[in-house]
Structure 1
Amino acid sequence: MPQTSVGDRTHRLVPSPAGRIHLVEQGDGPLVLLLHGFPESWYAWRHQLPALAAAGYRAVAVDIRGYGRSSRPAAVDAYRMVELVEDNVAVVEALGERSAVVVGHDWGATIAATSALIRPEVFRAAGLLSVPYTPPGGPRPSEVFARMGGEDEFCVSYFQRPGRAEAEIEPDVRGWLAGFYAALSADTMPETSPHFVARGGTLRDRFPVGRLPRWLSEADLDVFAGEFERTGMTGALNRYRNMDRDWQDLADYAGAPVTQPSLFIGGALDASTTWLADAIEAYPATLPGLTASHILDGGGHFLQQERPTETNRLLTDWLAGLLPA
């Protein structure tokens, strides 16, 4: 198997409906598009880029619109799901390809699934990490979130008002990110759920203090924090502020399955997996092309960084089983 190194990575800016998308590319072969989650960047895939390249794929990790060196439109509604899907299509076209396998983590998993759902001619397979696929439709998201948490406020509701979460995070981006990453990682999770905010409080009140998860070095934290210190948090948070718009935009796809070959990897300790257990049980109907599903014992939320060797093996095994592009 050929060996690859960090030096083999290529950074590029390509045009998209957002203006530009920054991506990092490594390897040659069938295109695998990697989509990060909140609050991360292309760097969340640093362990997968060389592994996929060595396995014979053209691995491309993007900065989602609003993150890193990609464009950050000012309008809140510029971060709707349909806009992000079209960014992904633009990346595939800019790279001179006609199709791609799309793999996403956290919000990236939802973006990946929706890309496969509404642009199946471009995205021939979808890999989902940490967040299960739930078809569009059902009750209005804001109404669902408002009912969660009892006296506390669910984090997604907390993120809705522009400027509110920014005021908590931006005075100490590095410290906030360290606490957030620790709160959702298997080896540093607190006993009290970090997904809820006491009335009048902040999310940070329930984060662990003074401990980094094993997967996160000080240097890694510097990379993530450096980008958000430069860009601010608004572009990333605006994704949450469009969930009701997504519900309206995707109404024609209510209940629709993703039929292409698919993969799911979740962490047994991750709230995204446990809260959405019903969605995983529904995969025979919602992901009829599912070819592999794995729940990693002892796994937290940031699987491709917490468990990179295992994640890389599962991804490359799945990709090897797909039909050639």
Structure 2
Amino acid sequence: MPEHTPVPTPSADRAARPSTLLPGAVHRLVEVPGGRIHCVEQGTGPLVLLVHGFPESWYSWRHQLPALAAAGYRAVAIDVRGYGRSSKPVAVDAYRMLAHVADNTAVVRALGAETAIVVGHDWGSPIAAHSALLRPDVFTAAALLSVPYAPPGGPRPTDAFTRIGGDEEFYVSYFQTPGRAEAEIEPDVRGWLTGLYTGLSGDTLAPADHSGLFFVPKGARMADRFPTGRLPGWLEERDLDVYSAEFERTGLTGALNRYRNVDRDWEDLTAWHGASVAQPSLFIGGTLDASTTWMSDAIDAYPRTLPGLSAAHLLEGCGHWIQQERPAEVNTLLTDWLHDRR
């Protein structure tokens, strides 16, 4: 179990300030080999590192930080490199998986801890899984939300995504060319985020097709298939204020560069092709999330790929933004699982 580290080191305490968005939490910047990582921290106890996905920020864990703190944990949500107040390297290859694992490891050390439990959602899920895979000495357990674990390997990712798209273009392929997706998103960041959040939410997506948003017809934009109308129940205007303000300030290039490293990851992780994550693990997904339906084979393979799995929970009627759509259920599942680790 991660050691109790209630007092941050002096370097970790640099630039610490109370959060105006989340009472009781503290913002701080920590130094990592690639620059700096912005953290939002609440509570004392064993360290739990929370890693967000695309296109989000530390704020996507706003419901989990106080719940984990109340349960006796030191919960720390980061802005992944390229997001928010964390560093945004210029080079595309600075966003490879190995760099994210190095960031997570350095954050744990900067916070004065030797080990941590890592929790990830969306892109944060594979980042959390690979942190556990590559650094089992640091990450003693991993909880994965929405995106199932699939071991490195298989066909070259961009080749596989081209085949998936068929006559249209799969969204990961659409994101590959620097500047292309940015040109669609950045003229109306708030509108684009609203469409994506709404289109992948359980209470607002079209029941007959929860995957159409991921395919772009030739000559079209991804946003052309976004729904219009009411916001999903979990998303308030003030939440959109937070997300859109961050991306209007930073742009989307750093966030999109994660997608532009899938082939580099495939090459970097050759030695781990087919490898399982042995540490205790947990999976939580939504039944209406395309990630869980497309990757159902990965979930079926968990006895081999996640031999330490405690449980795989699929929340009925839930979409992609699981810890925001169903915060109470996710908090209960996480805290019960964490208590079992003590």
| TM-score tier (shorter) | over 0.9
User: What SS does structure 2 have at the residue aligned with 1:213?
Assistant: coil
Distance of 2:327 and 2:279 partners within structure 1: 25
1:129 equivalent in alignment to 2:173 = no
Corresponding residue number in structure 2 for 1:171: 187
Backbone CA RMSD of aligned residues: 0.9
User: What SS does structure 2 have at the residue aligned with 1:161?
Assistant: coil
TM-score with structure 2 length normalisation? 0.92
Question: What is the letter of the counterpart of residue 330 of structure 2?
Answer: T
Which aligned runs of 4 or more in structure 1 are off by greater than 4 angstroms? none
Deviations 1:46-87 (CA, angstroms, capped at 9, x unpaired): 000000000000000000000000000000000000000000
Corresponding residue number in structure 1 for 2:8: none
User: What SS does structure 2 have at the residue aligned with 1:32?
Assistant: strand
Deviations 1:126-157 (CA, angstroms, capped at 9, x unpaired): 00000000000110000000001321100000
Corresponding residue number in structure 2 for 1:309: 328
Match 2:76 to one of 60, 82, 85: 60
CA shift, 1:267, in A, is 0.2
Corresponding residue number in structure 2 for 1:216: 235
User: What SS does structure 2 have at the residue aligned with 1:73?
Assistant: coil
User: What SS does structure 1 have at the residue aligned with 2:165?
Assistant: coil
1:262 equivalent in alignment to 2:278 = no
Match 1:27 to one of 43, 47, 54: 43
Corresponding residue number in structure 1 for 2:202: 186
Corresponding residue number in structure 1 for 2:245: 226
Corresponding residue number in structure 2 for 1:294: 313
Question: What is the letter of the counterpart of residue 144 of structure 2?
Answer: L
Corresponding residue number in structure 2 for 1:106: 122
Deviations 1:107-128 (CA, angstroms, capped at 9, x unpaired): 0000000000000000000000
Q: Which runs of 5+ in 2 are unaligned?
A: 1-20
Corresponding residue number in structure 1 for 2:217: 198
Match 1:46 to one of 62, 78, 84: 62
TM-score with structure 1 length normalisation? 0.97
The number of equivalent residue pairs is: 319
Q: Which runs of 5+ in 1 are unaligned?
A: none
Deviations 1:20-65 (CA, angstroms, capped at 9, x unpaired): 0000000000000000000000000000000000000000000000
Question: What is the letter of the counterpart of residue 77 of structure 1?
Answer: D
Task: State whether residues 292 and 318 of structure 1, in contact with CA within 8 Å, keep that contact through their aligned partners in structure 2.
Answer: no
Q: Which sits farther off after the overlay, 189-198 or 245-254?
A: 189-198
CA shift, 1:315, in A, is 0.2
Distance of 1:159 and 1:54 partners within structure 2: 39
Question: What is the letter of the counterpart of residue 61 of structure 2?
Answer: W
Match 1:17 to one of 9, 23, 33: 33
User: What SS does structure 1 have at the residue aligned with 2:104?
Assistant: helix
User: What SS does structure 2 have at the residue aligned with 1:8?
Assistant: coil
User: What SS does structure 2 have at the residue aligned with 1:256?
Assistant: coil
Distance of 2:131 and 2:56 partners within structure 1: 20
Distance of 1:7 and 1:149 partners within structure 2: 44
Q: Which sits farther off after the overlay, 183-192 or 67-76?
A: 183-192
Question: What is the letter of the counterpart of residue 124 of structure 1?
Answer: T
